[in-house]
Amino acid sequence: MTLFLKWSKIASKFFDISQTVSKRSSHTTNLINKKIYIFGGEYIPRNPIDNNLLVLDTVSNEWSSLADPSAPIARMGHSSCSVGDNLYIFGGRTGVEMGETSLNDLHSFNTFTKKWSLIHSDTDSEVYPSRRSYHTMTSQGNKLYIFGGCSVKAGRLNDLYEFDIGSQKWTKLPSDESIVARGGACLVSRDQCLYLIGGFCGHELDECFMFDLRENKWTQIESLPRKLSVFACSSINSENVQLVLHGGEVDPSTMGHNGAGEFSSDTYVYDGKQWKYIDLVEKPSSRGWHSSCSDENKFYIYGGNLENNERTDELWCFEI
């Protein structure tokens, strides 16, 4: 079956931009009830911007900024996902002025009341994910899933945790020796399975794995066409496409997190068996450290770090 695919750059009406910084990387993006929620990230390397939520109404195409004194502290390299009307944020790291401390707090944001709540800290449970950043998070039903990332004590991680929203309990799920510890990967949920894509273990990775939630078992699936980390990837509601991926780092910067590596502008789709490269004339430029969300047949990417080491606030939509 022929797929009709296109990228479109979205020009939207910003609120008073002097009140906040919209350009960023190492942030998170989620879509709930036709609104895109963007939290955290950095404009200056290793310095989180603030703890306000940027919100885009995809119907009116207008932005707003939400501030709440009970919001999580400013951070970058955190993870997020949504369940129903709620947004969830886990972990990340603080900036240079706060010692670049790794975090493992779990917060929720109710999109109706517009209020934040602290759900869990590491003193609440014997089983709890360690402090980490540049990990990845997704949801399935009323459960949250967190994989890997970078910790201060243990270095890179390859553990998988499940949080049951109803019982408020964490469970550590089986790991697999063949899955190297990594940061900068993507964990994506689809059809009772979790897909672990790419990442960085000292070099970029092309390995992909699937965790079957019914059998609690890992299986290796077809690798990416090229080795990538810190890309944007989400599941999408399409009969012929399960996952969409854009961009990412193909070679790290010699300056570490202070510099920009070599980035990709490629778009790939996964149909449940193989990855396919999508060749389009109009598309986002090369970038990494951006984030994505999806709604039905639309895949959105926001922000990121460009190859000139500048952050962007571009919003693009890939439509099937």
Task: Write out the catalytic residue numbers.
Answer: 93, 156
Rounded to a whole number of angstroms, the CA Rg of the chain reads: 18
Structure token pair of residue 280: 């389009």
If one counts every other C-beta atom within 10 angstroms of the C-beta of residue 50, the result is 18
Which residues, including other chains, have CB under 8 Å from residue 148's CB and lie 6 or more apart? 132, 135, 136, 156, 157, 158, 159, 160, 181, 182, 183, 185, 199
Residue 297, helix vs strand vs coil: coil
Using CA atoms, how far apart are residues 7 and 316, in angstroms rounded to an integer?
7
Measured in Å, how far apart are the chain's first and last C-alpha atoms? Answer: 12
Residue 17, helix vs strand vs coil: helix
Using CA atoms, how far apart are residues 128 and 292, in angstroms rounded to an integer?
26
The phi and psi torsions of 285 (rounded to 5 degrees) equal -70, 175
Closest to 267 (Cα-Cα) out of 244, 288, 289: 244
Structure token pair of residue 40: 């955290």
